[in-house]
Amino acid sequence: MPKTVGVVGLGYVGLTLTAALAGRDYRVHGMDTDPGVVAALSAGRVHLYEPGVAEAFQRHLGERITVSGDLTAEPLDAVVLAVSTPVDLSTGRPDLRNLAAAAEHVAARCGPETLVVVRSTVPVGTSREVVLDVLAARWGRVRLVMAPERTIQGQALRELVALPQVIGGLDEESLRAGIDLFQGLAEQIVPVSSLEAAELVKLSNNCHTDLIYAFGNEVALIAEQHGLDPLEVVKAANVGYPRPDLSKPGFVGGGCLSKDPYLMMASTRPERRPYLVGGARALNERLPGHVAERLVKLIGQAFGTTAGITLSVLGWAYKGWPATDDMRGTPIADMMPVFTAAGMRVLGHDPLVADEVIRRYGGEPVSLDKAFAAADAMIIINDHPDYRDLAVDLRLADSELRVIFDAWRVLDEASVTRYGVRYASIGYVAGEAAL
DSSP for 298-309 reads HHHHHHS--TT-
User: What global pTM score does this model have?
Assistant: 0.93
What's the residue count for the chain? 435
- Cα separation, 126 vs 419, whole angstroms: 57
Q: Which of 278, 268, 274 is nearest to 124 (CA)?
A: 268
Answer yes or no: are the C-beta atoms of 80 and 13 closer than 8 Å.
no
Helix 12-23 vs helix 53-60: angle between axes, to the nearest 10 degrees? 50
DSSP output for 23-36: HTT-EEEEE-S-HH
Are the C-beta atoms of residues 126 and 96 closer than 8 Å to each other?
A: yes
pLDDT at residue 90, as a whole number: 84
- What pLDDT is recorded for position 244? 86
Q: Supply the angle between the helices 277-303 and 195-225 in degrees, to the nearest 10.
A: 30
Burial of 239 (0-12, 13-18, 19+ CB in 10 A): exposed
**Domain positions in the chain:** 4-196, 280-429
> Nearest 5 degrees, angle CA 346-CA 349-CA 354?
110
Q: Which CATH superfamily is domain 280-429 in?
A: NAD(P)-binding Rossmann-like Domain (3.40.50.720)
Exposure string for 397-408, b = 16+ CB within 10 A, e = fewer: eebebbbbbbbb
For domain 4-196, give its CATH number from 1.10.10.60, 3.40.50.720, 3.40.50.150, 1.10.3720.10.
3.40.50.720
Using 70 as the pLDDT threshold, list the residues of the chain that sit under it: 1-2, 433-435
Contact in structure between 32 and 80 (CB atoms under 8 Å): no
Q: In this predicted model, what pLDDT tens digit does every residue of 66-111 receive, in sequence order?
A: 999 999 989 999 999 999 999 998 888 999 999 999 999 999 999 9
* Predicted pLDDT at 434: 45
Give the CA count within 13 Å in the CB-facing half-sphere of 398.
Answer: 6
Same fold, 4-196 and 280-429: yes
pLDDT of residue 398: 87
Strands in 403-406's sheet, in edge-to-edge order, are 364-365, 345-349, 310-314, 377-380, 403-406, 422-425, 428-429
Q: What is the pLDDT of residue 218?
A: 98
